[in-house]
Amino acid sequence: MRLRNLILDDKFRLIVSLIVLILSFFQIKILMFDLAWIAVILCGFPIIINALKGLITRFDIKAGVLVSIALIASLIIGEIFAAGEIAFIMVLGEALENYSIAKSKSGIEKLVKLSPRTARIITNGEEKVIPAENVKVQDLIKVFPGETIPVDGIIVEGESTIDESIMTGEPIPVDKLEKDEVFSGTLNQYGSFIMKARKLGKDSSLQRMISLVKSTDVDKSKIVRLADKWTTWFVAIAFTLAIATFVITGDIIRFVTVLVVFCPCAFVLATPTAIVSAIGNLTKYGILIKDGDALEKLSEVKKIIFDKTGTLTYGKPELIDVITYNDYDKNELCRIVASLENKSEHPLGKAIVDFYYNLSNQSLLEVTNFQMKIGKGVIGEVKDKIILAGNKRLLKENNISIPDEEEKTISKYIKNGSTVIYVSINGEFAGYLILSDQLRTDSKELILQIKNKKLEPILVTGDNEKSANYIGKELAIEKVFSNSLPESKMDIIDDYKQKNQNVAMIGDGVNDAPALKKSYVGIAMGGIGSDIAIEAADIVLVGDDVGNIPQLLGLSIKTMSKIKWNIIFSLIFNFIAVVLAMLGVLNPITGAIAHNIGSVFVVTNSAILLFWKNKK
């Protein structure tokens, strides 16, 4: 079994065949037969067998049929080297194509692992843990901090803060109160609550997302090899010309030579060599091409949909400013709040602590009587002063008012999509901290270059309308879709598809996976992106550098141009070689060498793509 696998391995066959062909060409005798026979057996016989199978079972006329005819004809007249060389070139082209078209995975298994397996239901006042699939509509379910919500439902008692990033892609947890909806697969962070089940099984949010990822597989049809599309014509023309040559001249050598030079090796190499060179180029920019067809598809795209969080922004909240009131010291206020938030696990609190450590070398202050108010904020004593840091609800419950003159400024920040943490000291309003998910430094330049390439950028995000519109305005993106869940993103892509408009999607989260698969080309952020998004995509930005997207877009167009020129050259070269073969200028050996020169030209021309660089 190991020997059989080794013989079938492309790399082994190519290395051995190349060595024996070189020895055969220089007529170096090691064994009692022409060493080119080894290349014929390793590379040629599998081609003949597969061509016969396809022809007999499906009447499938592909490039292998014409290659097989040329191989057999060469062997009949004793031109073993010509047969081996043809077989080697064809296997090389097939190996390059197999390398360039890596099979992408669906990531469905990882989505399934996110599905909660158990649920804690309440029946007649008693709690009981049961399999999640046994939950029924209207069942009461208790969810503790740190647990994944098992089904879709509505909170009937309690309140909490829930990480919904799996559904919306947004990094900041959402506060939930009674009568608020909660979704399966999302993570309960702090408070415990009782919910009533509303949507189960395939109807739940997470299961619908899994179904979306599965269903989009059928839309990812592979582009048929150009050589296979045109092989029927190649076979017909080659036979016609070869037979005509034999009828006119009566020369069997010319008949075989026509078949040899008509063998479409350069034509077959035109596409995979260009794609492999482009893949090599993009690797230097931290771009991984998972699907060779992606470059061809990307060259046909006219619109690019961007997810916001983690794609155009860094995907995490950052403290951007500290505003004080009544002459409180800015650095001191930041230190007090950071000391308080250091006892919290909330992402906003962590962002404040990180900001302070980057700002100052001073240690944090001691905090006593710390309390975390779910969905509101934190309370504690620092330097014998009672500190409150949280949202408006926290201040309102403690009868602390916000000055009218500050409300106007605060509303501007909120309108821009920022989050505001209000602070009071000993019952008096002391100021507020502004946190925001910041734009990537190269996002503006990226959008400008995309527009310069006559492509339309579109923003689709799970974030709220104010935040989405603010980002759209900052980046000069005219079309903005907010509050978009996975199904919404799919619907947007479907709308464009129905208008025959090819769309590329760039995203990073689990919630982007269905859209990445549904889009004509899916591009995932590899560094911060989820494994599921990466596996759903055709292309991965390994280093999360969106600034390299113009290189990707430009190279996709350049690659398709290179492929077209390769094809045109190979057709013209083959035509000239056929004419020379018909006139008797070329024999099977010189014909094989000439036809090899065409293949070398195509490979060399494609290799130029390795050094191509996008111009702004």
Active site residues: 307
Nearest to residue 595, comparing CAs of 66, 189, 38? 66
| Token reading at 242 | 């070869």
Cα–Cα dist 207/296, whole Å: 32
> What 3-state class would DSSP assign to 604?
helix
CB burial class (10 A; 0-12, 13-18, 19+) of residue 604?
exposed
286 CB neighbour count, 10 Å cutoff? 15
Cα–Cα dist 411/420, whole Å: 9
Cα–Cα dist 9/7, whole Å: 6
Backbone φ and ψ for 326, nearest 5 degrees, come out as: 60, 45
C-alpha separations of 309 from 3, 57, 353, 479, 554 in Å: 51, 51, 21, 16, 25
The CB-based long-range contact list for 226-231 (8 Å cut-off, 24+ gap) reads 226/267, 226/270, 226/271, 226/567, 227/62, 227/63, 227/264, 227/267, 227/268, 227/271, 228/62, 228/63, 230/264, 230/267, 231/61, 231/62, 231/63, 231/65, 231/66, 231/264
Strands of 303-306's sheet in order across: 287-289, 539-541, 521-525, 503-507, 303-306, 456-460, 479-481
Q: Which helix (H) or strand (E) holds 380?
A: strand 377-382
> What 3-state class would DSSP assign to 319?
strand
Cα–Cα dist 204/214, whole Å: 15
Q: Which residue has the tokens 């191509």?
A: 612
| Token reading at 557 | 């167009």
* Buried-exposed string 501-511: b where 16+ CB fall within 10 A, e elsewhere: ebbbbbbbbbb
Q: Which residue has the tokens 């296979």?
A: 228
Cα–Cα dist 425/362, whole Å: 21
Cα–Cα–Cα angle for 420, 422, 427, rounded to 5 degrees: 170
* Buried-exposed string 399-418: b where 16+ CB fall within 10 A, e elsewhere: ebebeeeeeeebeebeebbb
- Percent composition of the chain: helix, strand, coil (DSSP 3-state, to 5): 55, 20, 25
HEC profile of 209-263: HHHHHHHHHHHCCCCCCHHHHHHHHHHHHHHHHHHHHHHHHCCHHHHHHHHHHHC
Backbone φ and ψ for 611, nearest 5 degrees, come out as: -110, 5
Cα–Cα dist 583/577, whole Å: 10
Nearest to residue 546, comparing CAs of 439, 446, 412? 446
